[in-house]
Amino acid sequence: MLFGNGTGGVDWVLVCLGNPGEKYENTRHNVGFMVADELGERQHAPIQRLKYKALTNVFTISGQKVLVMKPVTFMNLSGEAVRQAVDFYKVAPDHVLVVSDDTALAVGRLRIRRGGSAGGHNGLKNIILHLGTDQFPRLRVGVGEKPHPDYDLADWVLGKFPPDDAKALADRLPDLEAAAKLIMDGKLGLAQSKYNG
């Protein structure tokens, strides 16, 4: 079903979370941006149009029009960007797919959820606040647990991937894209059985 305003509407909003700026490139918290950039490369089109407090582009993925966005609000205010895009295109929350990092998962492991709590992730928490619901699909990407309990979580997620981890993550990018396509095709359950774990 097509949601939108009838003039260049989109079927889905794909929100790829991260922090803007060179300082944050290739950090664990920026896994979402990495996924967006990979999609842009595969579509031969950069995600660089500044709209709705995000860098955006509209792609056709699996025959559906998808607004891909990299919020430039910084992680903790990501919901502001999502709310603007959702309001403009009149997209239902169940057609907002969020890609984020997850420190509870080993590097490169995926976890697909139909909805639920933020699990301590401030970007997800802010999106839930601004959408007024936690019922939107999310694709969480493992970045590994912090090395010991006393290690500061902010330092961990804002740290850069060592080469082995970066390669493990890069190897999973095609699976991430395939999982996103299944979700947008209405096959979230299949995506879960195929890619979770």
Catalytic (active-site) positions: 29
C-alpha span between 115 and 135 (Å, rounded): 4
Give the bridge partners for 15, in sequence order.
69, 98
| Phi, psi angle pair for 17, to nearest 5° | -85, 145
Q: What is the DSSP string of 103-137?
A: TTS-TT-EEEESS---TT-HHHHHHHHHHT-S-S-
C-alpha span between 110 and 114 (Å, rounded): 13
CB 28 within 8 A of CB 156: yes
Separate counts of helices (H) and strands (E) for the chain: 6, 7
C-alpha span between 158 and 24 (Å, rounded): 7
CA-to-CA separations, 47 to 10, 30, 56, 58, 63, in angstroms, rounded: 16, 15, 5, 9, 19
